[in-house]
Amino acid sequence: MKDCTVAPYVCVDAEELKTLYKSVGWTSYLRRPDLLKEAYAHSLKALAAYDGERLIGIIRAVGDGVSILYIQDLLIHPAYQRRGLGTRLMTEMLRCFPDVNQAVLLTDETEETVQFYEAAGFQKVQKVGCCAFIRLHECYG
């Protein structure tokens, strides 16, 4: 989707984030919008995609940017999905950290998401002899 604008997301707008997260059904983040805004403020990097003034996609990374880059969030508004915007955001984020040792993420295990992330060069952790663990705070569980 070449006609949209992709730029660093530096002025965190809680309302536009809420609208985007709600559009994709990520409601656990909406229970504590103050924490979502703070999470963005403490992220390593965030990139946003806009259609005019409307936020239509976002990617957020945490980590040190040298040994590890953790893709925390990648959201595309449903009306803009399957147009290459997610790929564009992921490509731009990874381009910002060309020498990072590990880029990792957790996601739903659906056919669509597995295909998307494998096409982006990611592989399941089992393929490299690893496993993943998670501990969720009750607020987000």
Tens of pLDDT, residues 111-136: 999 999 999 999 999 999 999 888 88
Q: What pLDDT band is residue 29 in, cutting at 50, 70 and 90?
A: confident
In a domain, 137, yes or no: no
Which tens digit of pLDDT belongs to each residue from 57-73?
999 999 999 999 999 99
Q: What pLDDT band is residue 42 in, cutting at 50, 70 and 90?
A: very high
In a domain, 58, yes or no: yes
In a domain, 135, yes or no: no
In a domain, 34, yes or no: yes
Report the domain count for the chain: 1
In a domain, 138, yes or no: no
Residues of the domain holding 123:
5-128
Q: What is the pLDDT of residue 139?
A: 58
Q: What pLDDT band is residue 1 in, cutting at 50, 70 and 90?
A: low
Domain holding 79: CATH number? 3.40.630.30
**Exposure string (b/e) for 86-108, b if CB count within 10 Å is 16 or more?**
bebbbebbbeebeebeebebeee
Q: What is the pLDDT of residue 102?
A: 95
In a domain, 60, yes or no: yes
In a domain, 98, yes or no: yes
